[in-house]
Structure 1
Amino acid sequence: MKNSKKLNVLVVALMMIFLGSCETWLDVNENPNNPTDAPITGLLTNTILETTLNVQRAGNITSPYVQHLASPNPASSTDIMEPLDFSGTWGSFYSVMSDLTDLMDKAERLDANHYLAAGQTLMALNLGMVVDMWGSAPYSEGFRFTTVTPKYDSDQELYTEIIALLDQAISNFNKTSAVTIRADDFIYGGNIPKWIRFANSLKARYLIHTPGYDRGVLLAAVAAGFQNNGDDAKMDFFSQRFNPWAQVAINNQNLLLGGWISSQFIEALDGTSYPIFDPRLPLMVGTTATGDFVGVPNGAGRGNAPERGARSTLIPEQYYTRRLGPVLIMTFAELKFIEAEANLGANKAGAYQAYLDGIRAHMQMLGVTPGDVQNYLDHPSVGMGVDAFTVNDIFKEKWIATFLHPETWNDARRFDYAYKDMTIPDNINPDLGGQFIRRLQYPDSEISRNGKNVPSVGLLDRIWWDK
């Protein structure tokens, strides 16, 4: 946001009035209600809102790929992984990253170190989502407007920048700040220790993607990261603008179809794929008109089922779909699963405990009763013990705990989509040769504007960390 309002310049003719030897110039008046520069508080508020919306936008794209959601229509482009144009989402990422550049520039001029750190944290998050979905992208020449055709930095180089931004953010949060973050912070309300934990948790997220990461560095970030569910990075919405997942559920009730649940997700929680009913299921999705949980097979559509009541969908006012509820940016539960994965080879007992803690944290976040939490953890298919515990168990539970979140697609690709009973969608895009999608197509808007720099890639070409 170069300016939230464009300045209307009033040109006043300068008149020289010669009265003897006197010379008078008329003043040029500025309207104080029409600012030429956005205040730093407004920049932070806007960039937090738009970043949160970007998390949801990305999750909306990727949820069918990981079989959280499915289309009610057969051979829907999202389900069958056809190349799609996400110019709008790409534009949203670059708009907020431009705003964040302004925020960081202004923060440096004002010696507002905490605003600078928040901007660096949010920049790392947005850039990370761009790289994880598209790969190489404009960044080093992307926001200073020295060229209208910025070069593409490699995805591996950008990952180095993401970690550097987070390290800089942690350092700047630990400095004094000439300007204090307060109510303009929709995530933590100016609680800087929580911001520090958030930046460290994000660092752990991006390190776990990175081949050959330093385990000690990653676990240090985990230790300095979220300590409980109260540290979750999330933004609650407001009456003027509903949680976008709530809007999907409301729209579905009004026959604007969306938010239908994949059979894969239902069967993973209802006792079909695993020998226990997961008490989170009724807190996450709705039932059919007869009180059952029935999903839609990805790519196949709902078949002869009527539009309402015969399949499970997102429904209003559950945890993920409360009108004034949160969109989750990163959670303590996710961090515990990162810790479990990082520890698995060297400290299996520690990995197992982090895995159990991750399940417990997610269940508590949703409001599962303590008795149901313990019964689930005690079941031998979940609490299998250290010796029988494998990486498959981590990825299965993390796949549930990151419901509707774009991070799930990163895990799915790192795990090579090896979730139990996850199958290729019906009517799969034939160009994929029976394989799962590995990246997004670059948007048409970018090809038309900056085509000479856009990499030539296909949907099966892998992001650098997905080798």
Structure 2
Amino acid sequence: MKKNRNITYKGLALILSVLVFTISCEKWTDSDINIDPDKPANVPMGLILPGIQQSMGYNLVGNNSVRTNNIWMQIFEGVDRQSFTEGRYQLVSSDVNNLWTNMYTEMMINSTIIIDKADDEGLESPHFAGIAQVLLATSLGIGTDLFGDMPFTEAFKGGENILSPVYDGQESLYGSINTLLDQAIGNLNSTNNVIDVSGDVIYDGDLDKWKKAASSIKARHAIQQTKRNGNAAYSAALAAVANGFTSNDDDFLVPFEDQNKNPIFQFMEQRTDIRMGANLIDLLLATDDPRLPFYAEEDADGNYSGSALRSQNSDASFPGPNLAAFDASAKLMTYSELKFIEAEARLGLGQAGAQEAYEAAVAASVLRITGEANTAWLDANINGDPVTLEKLMTQKYIDGAGTNQPYADYRRTGLPSLTLAPDAVVSEIPRRFPYPQGELDYNTQNVPAVTLLTKVWWDQ
């Protein structure tokens, strides 16, 4: 019996230990264990918005895009490492992975999330939706101008198991951009708004400025179609200009500061392998342009100098405070760009007002960059000098330093005249960016076959 009792006790102890372990596991197991508290599934729109805007400033108008095409436009000159390589137009698919990925994951997907959230029952915010639509259209517009065809209609449907989205043609994308901007203006005009805009680091919720930005972006993409649509493009641009920016105070800028520094500043702080290009510096020196000390730093001799094409002159001027100060704003679009668009459209249509718009564009550029009107310089070099397309595009090129627009305008107009790098790996200045390696690897069946010389739709 004793032996049997020992066996019974042992068996009972085993059963109890299993029960205790089982109960303990049940109490310990947390159904939310796989949820990261630092990555909440439901984030307020006011917390999503500034991340989109800062990513646009950093990636769309920063190191991942502007540095490269401004080297090609001879605004910058690559004097070492990757930048020197890009100066002979050697840009491969792996070089643009970050730009492409950030456009989709940080900008466009998050913009669509805000648009969807803004339509939730009881939380309606057409004002938030309108701002997100402007941001989505701006991101898509810069993206397609660099890459051409891109996924869009199927791009944000991973939840529907569309993991290899088709590419929308650029003509269709331009239609989507206009639709988004029209919808944005309608939403921004809505009087039925529940959730007020918060987190807006660009316009601090000023809806009138957002409406002007929407119309100004419409004007940019209208003028971009002049090769395709001729006078119709000019007319569409003027129609949009009428509701666009009215002064430098309306400029579409992403701010940077000491905790979130300008991307070109960061690049120069870490690598220092670009200098100002001789093409831009020589244009500024030729007229003693007051924007020169804002675009370039003095070199070791106390002068302003540009590195000649492919000369690797590391003694040339570094980018100046307007382009590379730690707190220099990233320019998504400006009033001066809009006035250049108006001047070109009026000039193309033979309308009155082209001269006035051109003079206003240069004056706005000089004022924004220098902080002074510089009336005497304008009178000596711009005012009263009959505008031509070449003069207009040269001044727009100077004004657009540090943005993507000189590259877009050059492909469209061939102005200003630029010299091909003597060690170029292609036969002309590239007409586009390549598609990223990630798309070639994981969306192989849909990626268009292109080279750097394959023209985008509006360039044909």
State TM-score, norm by structure 2: 0.86
CA separation of 1:376 and 1:461: change in aligned 2, threshold 3 A: same
1:42 to 41, 44, 47: 47
1:248 aligns with 2:244: no
1:352 to 355, 368, 378: 355
1:460 aligns with 2:458: no
Partner of 1:80: 88
Partner of 1:399: 397
Q: What amino acid is the match of 1:149?
A: S
* CA distance in structure 1 between the partners assigned to 2:268 and 2:142 by the alignment: 24
Q: Report which stretch shifted further, 35-44 or 67-76.
A: 67-76
Partner of 2:298: 287
Residues 73 and 300, structure 1, Cα contact 8 Å, conserved in 2:
no
- What is the 5 A alignment of 1:340-419? 340-367=343-370, 369-370=372-373, 373-379=374-380, 382-386=382-386, 389-416=387-414, 418-419=415-416
Residues 299 and 428, structure 1, Cα contact 8 Å, conserved in 2:
no
Residues 290 and 370, structure 2, Cα contact 8 Å, conserved in 1:
no
Q: CA shift at 1:336, angstroms? A: 0.4
Residues 77 and 84, structure 1, Cα contact 8 Å, conserved in 2:
no
Q: CA shift at 1:247, angstroms? A: 2.0
- What is the 5 A alignment of 1:5-404? 13=26, 35-55=40-60, 56=62, 57-73=64-80, 76-85=84-93, 86-95=96-105, 96-109=107-120, 110-145=123-158, 146-176=161-191, 177-182=193-198, 184-210=199-225, 211-212=228-229, 213-251=232-270, 256-271=271-286, 276-302=287-313, 307=314, 310-315=315-320, 318-367=321-370, 369-370=372-373, 373-379=374-380, 382-386=382-386, 389-404=387-402
* CA distance in structure 1 between the partners assigned to 2:186 and 2:127 by the alignment: 10
Q: CA shift at 1:415, angstroms? A: 1.4
* CA distance in structure 2 between the partners assigned to 1:115 and 1:12 by the alignment: 45
Residue 98 of structure 1 aligns to a residue whose secondary structure is helix
* CA distance in structure 2 between the partners assigned to 1:35 and 1:452 by the alignment: 34
CA separation of 1:457 and 1:374: change in aligned 2, threshold 3 A: same
Q: CA shift at 1:111, angstroms? A: 1.4
Q: What amino acid is the match of 1:82?
A: Q
Residue 439 of structure 2 aligns to a residue whose secondary structure is helix
* CA distance in structure 2 between the partners assigned to 1:314 and 1:444 by the alignment: 30
* CA distance in structure 2 between the partners assigned to 1:217 and 1:73 by the alignment: 43
Q: What amino acid is the match of 1:425?
A: A
Residues 229 and 333, structure 1, Cα contact 8 Å, conserved in 2:
yes
Residue 283 of structure 1 aligns to a residue whose secondary structure is helix
Q: CA shift at 1:65, angstroms? A: 1.2
Q: What amino acid is the match of 1:178?
A: V
Q: What amino acid is the match of 2:385?
A: G
* CA distance in structure 1 between the partners assigned to 2:36 and 2:224 by the alignment: 50
Residue 274 of structure 2 aligns to a residue whose secondary structure is coil
Q: What amino acid is the match of 1:246?
A: F
Residue 242 of structure 1 aligns to a residue whose secondary structure is coil
Q: CA shift at 1:367, angstroms? A: 2.2
CA separation of 1:264 and 1:32: change in aligned 2, threshold 3 A: closer
Q: What amino acid is the match of 1:301?
A: Q
Residues 337 and 355, structure 1, Cα contact 8 Å, conserved in 2:
yes
Larger Rg: 2
Unaligned runs of 5+ in 2: 1-23
* CA distance in structure 2 between the partners assigned to 1:239 and 1:312 by the alignment: 23
Q: What amino acid is the match of 1:458?
A: T
Residue 202 of structure 1 aligns to a residue whose secondary structure is helix
State TM-score, norm by structure 1: 0.85
* CA distance in structure 2 between the partners assigned to 1:260 and 1:43 by the alignment: 35
Q: CA shift at 1:33, angstroms? A: 8.4
* CA distance in structure 2 between the partners assigned to 1:120 and 1:77 by the alignment: 37
Residues 219 and 237, structure 2, Cα contact 8 Å, conserved in 1:
yes
Q: CA shift at 1:368, angstroms? A: 5.2
* CA distance in structure 1 between the partners assigned to 2:372 and 2:32 by the alignment: 67
Q: What amino acid is the match of 1:113?
A: P
Q: CA shift at 1:108, angstroms? A: 1.2
Percentage of pairs with the same residue: 29
Unaligned runs of 5+ in 1: 1-10, 16-25
Give CA-to-partner distance per residue, 1:334-365, whole Å, 9 cap, x none.
Answer: 00000011110334541111111011001111
Give CA-to-partner distance per residue, 1:271-320, whole Å, 9 cap, x none.
Answer: 1xxxx221111121112111112211233322xxxx4xx211114xx233
Give CA-to-partner distance per residue, 1:228-266, whole Å, 9 cap, x none.
Answer: 000001121132211112223434xxxx22331111111
1:439 to 423, 432, 435: 432
For this pair of structures, how many residues does the alignment match?
420
Q: What amino acid is the match of 2:423?
A: N
Give CA-to-partner distance per residue, 1:419-443, whole Å, 9 cap, x none.
Answer: 14x21112111xx22x111011111
Residues 430 and 452, structure 2, Cα contact 8 Å, conserved in 1:
yes
User: How well do the aligned residues superpose, as a CA RMSD in angstroms?
Assistant: 2.4
Q: CA shift at 1:222, angstroms? A: 0.7
* CA distance in structure 2 between the partners assigned to 1:108 and 1:131 by the alignment: 27
